[in-house]
Structure 1
Amino acid sequence: MKGFGVALGALGMIAGAAQAAEMGAVDKPIKLAINEWTGQHVSTHVAGEMLKAAGYQVEYVTAGYMNMYQAMADGELHGAMEIWSSNVSDDYAKKVEGGGVAELGDLGLDAKEGIAYPAHVGEMCPGLPAWEALKDCAQVFASAETIPMGRLVDYPADWGTPGADRMTGLDLPIKAIPAGSEGALIAELRASTERKTPLLITFWQPHWAMSAYDVQFVDLPVGEDACFNDPAWGPNPNAVNDCDFAPSRIFKAGWSGMADTWPAAHEILTNYQLDVADQQPMMGAIDVDGGSVEEVVAKWMADNEGKWRPVVDAATN
C-alpha cells in the first residue's frame, strides 16, 4: 500500500486497515527453529529474511530436531523449515493429530539419505556399491571401539538412529557409532579422503560434501512400507528396516495458531520453496569458504530477488 496517496482519503485508510489485519500481530516476533545442520540454517534464514522483508519481526531459536514439537504446539516456537520425513520423530505426528502443529507444505528440495562412503573406499571393499559386499569386508571398517565388528559413523544421536537400524535390519557385522554433530560427520569424510582410509557413514543430499568428497551411496534393497512393519519382508526374515531409507520428503511445519496470528506470514511460509541448486552452494560458502549464515543468505537474497520477492508480494499486496 506504500504510495497509495493521501488523496484517496477514507478509502486509503480502509485499505490500510485491511492490510494490517492481513499482516496480523506485527509487533510479536515469529520464532523459527534452528536445528543442527547447515542446510537447515540456510533454509530457515532464507524464510526468516522473507518474513522480515514483508514487515515481520523474526527470532531464530536453537531447538532440538527431535523434541521441538512440544514447544511448537505450545506456541513457543512458530515454524520449522526443514523436516525430513525419513527421520521425523513420533512426537511430530502426535502433535499434528492433537492440533497443536500444522504442516506448511513441501520445501521443494530433492533429497536422498543412505549409507555412504567416499569413492576411494570402493577399492578397499570389492563389490560395493552392492550392500552384500559389506558382509565380507566389514572388518575393513573396524576401529578400536568396534573390533571385530566394522564401524558405521551414524547421524548424531539427536537425529535418530537410521544407520544403526539398517545395520541391524540387514544383519551386518557393523556397529553404528553416533557422530557428535554435522561437523564431526564432515571431519570424518575429510580425513578419510585425505588419508585414503576406509569409512562407512550415514549421509544425505543435498549437501556440498557429496561432490567435494565424491561420496557414493550403498545400493540397499528398495524400501516399501512392508520393510518397516513386517519382518518377513526383505532379505532378513527376522527384522524390519532391512532395506534402503524411505524416500525422503522435506517439508515445513508450524504452530497451528500461525494462520490466525500472522495470516500473511503463514501464506509466505506455506508457499516458500528452496531449490537444491540454490541451497547447496550456500552450504559450501558457509562450511567450506567460512562465510557466516547471515552473510551468505543476505548475498543470495540480494542476487535472487526474483525467486523470493513474488512470494512475499503475493501475500502482502
Structure 2
Amino acid sequence: MQNTKRTRAAIAIVGAAGMLALSACGAAETGKSNTAGSDGKTVKLTVPSWVGAEANVAVAKHLLEKELDYKVKTQQMGEVLAWDALAKGDLDAVLEDWGHPEQEKKYVEDKKTVVKGGDLGVTGHIGWYVPKYFADKHPDVTDWKNLNKYADEFKTSESGGKGQLLEGSPDYVTNDDAIIKNLKLDLKTVYAGSEAAQITEIRKNVKAKKPFLTYWWTPQWLNSQVDMVEVKLPEYKEGCDKDPKKISCGYPNTPLQKYFNADFAKKGGKAAEFLKKFKLTTDQQNEIATMIAGDKMSPEAAAEKWVKANPDVWKAWMP
C-alpha cells in the first residue's frame, strides 16, 4: 500500500507461490484488457497476501467458474505491482484495496486505465495493539503517550534495546516508522516476514502470557481467537498522512474498494457485472478466512462450503 495510506497488513498465503510472468504486449498504458479483447471467457484476478483478501478471490473464482462458466486465473503479487498490472490489462480486477492515492490519481484520474468497482462491503482499520491480559494489568498502555513507560516490557533480542513494534510483511508499506519518529517513541519496527509468521509470534507470546505491541488490523480472523486491545494513537484527520515523513497520526477507518481495468469494466460482460455486485460483510469474510487459516481448508474448499451454505447471498450478485 501507499505510504500515505495503509496496508492491510499482511498474511502470507500458504500455497500461492511467487508471481507469474505478466505479458503487457499491446496493452501498456492503454487500459486494454487482454481478457476482454481475446476469448472473453478468462478473468484474471490478483490474490493479495493476506487471508481476508484470499477469501474474496476464492469465492469470486468459485462462482465465476461454476455458475458463469468462466476460467479464472489468479496470481499473487504486491499491491502497487497489482495496480500497474491492472492498468496495463494484465489483471482484470483487484477485489480488496486499502487505499493507494498515488495510484488512484495516476491510473483512475489521469490515465483513466482503471475504474472504481465499488465498495467491497468491508471496512478496514489498522492500528497498534497489545494483548488484553497486559492492558488489564496496565490500563494506561492503551494511550500512546504512555508507551515509552512500557518500552522495556516490549524489548526483544531483535529490537536493539528499544521496545519492539511487531510488523508483518515488509511488502506492505505502513506509516509506523514515521509515527515512531515524530511521536518520539522508544520503539523499533521488527518484521516477522509475513502475516503467517506474525500470527505465529503473537500466538507464542499469548501462550507465554508475554507483553507485546503489534501492528494489526480489522477485519482479521484471528481476532475471534486472540483478545487484543488497540492503543490509541493521535486521532486521524483528513490529510494528516499527506506527507509520509511528517505523519504523527493514527490510521483511518477505510471502506475497502474494488478496482477494475477500464476495458474489462466495459467489455467484461457477465463477469464484470458479477464483480461489480460482489460484496461481503466483515463477518462473512472472517468466516471464510477462518476456514482457510484457522481450519486449514484449501481456499477452494472453503469457498465451496461457504457458497453451498449461503445461496441467498451470492445469488443477488448474479447478472
1:263 aligns with 2:269: yes
* Cα distance, 1:92 vs structure 2: 4.3
Match of 2:195 among 175, 182, 206: 182
Report what 1:71 is aligned to. 85
1:45 aligns with 2:45: no
CA distance in 2, matches of 1:163, 1:189: 18
CA distance in 1, matches of 2:40, 2:274: 18
What does 1:131-280 correspond to in 2, within 5 Å?
131-229=144-242, 240-280=246-286
User: Are the equivalent residues in 2 in contact too, given 1:39–1:207 (CA < 8 A)?
Assistant: yes
CA distance in 1, matches of 2:242, 2:88: 32
User: Are the equivalent residues in 2 in contact too, given 1:26–1:262 (CA < 8 A)?
Assistant: no
1:82 aligns with 2:96: yes
Report what 2:11 is aligned to. none
* Cα distance, 1:27 vs structure 2: 4.7
Q: Which amino acid aligns with 1:261?
A: K
1:29 aligns with 2:42: yes
* Cα distance, 1:156 vs structure 2: 1.3
Deviation string 1:53-75 (CA, Å, 9 cap, x unpaired) is: 12222111122123211111111
Moved over 4 A (4+): 23-27, 123-126
Deviation string 1:9-66 (CA, Å, 9 cap, x unpaired) is: xxxxxxxxxxxxxx99665411000110111110112122232212222111122123
Structure 2 residue runs of 5 or longer lacking an equivalent are 1-35
CA distance in 1, matches of 2:280, 2:167: 27
CA distance in 2, matches of 1:60, 1:95: 22
Aligned residues: 282
User: Are the equivalent residues in 1 in contact too, given 2:57–2:95 (CA < 8 A)?
Assistant: yes
- Distance change (3 Å), C-alpha of 1:56 and 1:287: same
- What percentage of residue pairs aligned between the two structures are identical? 28
Report what 2:312 is aligned to. 306
Report what 1:57 is aligned to. 71
User: Are the equivalent residues in 2 in contact too, given 1:221–1:244 (CA < 8 A)?
Assistant: yes
Q: Helix, strand or coil for the counterpart of 1:216?
A: strand
CA distance in 1, matches of 2:204, 2:137: 16
Q: Which amino acid aligns with 2:188?
A: K
User: Are the equivalent residues in 1 in contact too, given 2:167–2:192 (CA < 8 A)?
Assistant: yes
Q: Which amino acid aligns with 1:260?
A: K
Report what 1:91 is aligned to. 103
* Cα distance, 1:110 vs structure 2: 2.8
* Cα distance, 1:144 vs structure 2: 1.8
Q: Which amino acid aligns with 1:93?
A: K
CA distance in 2, matches of 1:261, 1:224: 39
CA distance in 2, matches of 1:203, 1:105: 25
Q: Which amino acid aligns with 2:279?
A: Q
User: Are the equivalent residues in 1 in contact too, given 2:40–2:268 (CA < 8 A)?
Assistant: no
- Distance change (3 Å), C-alpha of 1:158 and 1:175: same
The worse-fitting range, judged by mean Cα deviation, of 134-143 and 155-164 is 155-164
CA distance in 2, matches of 1:118, 1:144: 20
CA distance in 2, matches of 1:221, 1:153: 19
Structure 1 residue runs of 5 or longer lacking an equivalent are 1-22, 232-238
CA distance in 1, matches of 2:55, 2:113: 26
CA distance in 2, matches of 1:280, 1:189: 18
Deviation string 1:96-138 (CA, Å, 9 cap, x unpaired) is: 2311211101100132210112212225655121111202111
Task: Give the alignment's TM-score, normalised by structure 2.
Answer: 0.82
Bigger-Rg structure (1/2): 1
Deviation string 1:64-94 (CA, Å, 9 cap, x unpaired) is: 1232111111111111111112xx3733432
* Cα distance, 1:254 vs structure 2: 1.5
CA distance in 2, matches of 1:244, 1:93: 23
- Distance change (3 Å), C-alpha of 1:309 and 1:138: same
CA distance in 2, matches of 1:76, 1:229: 30
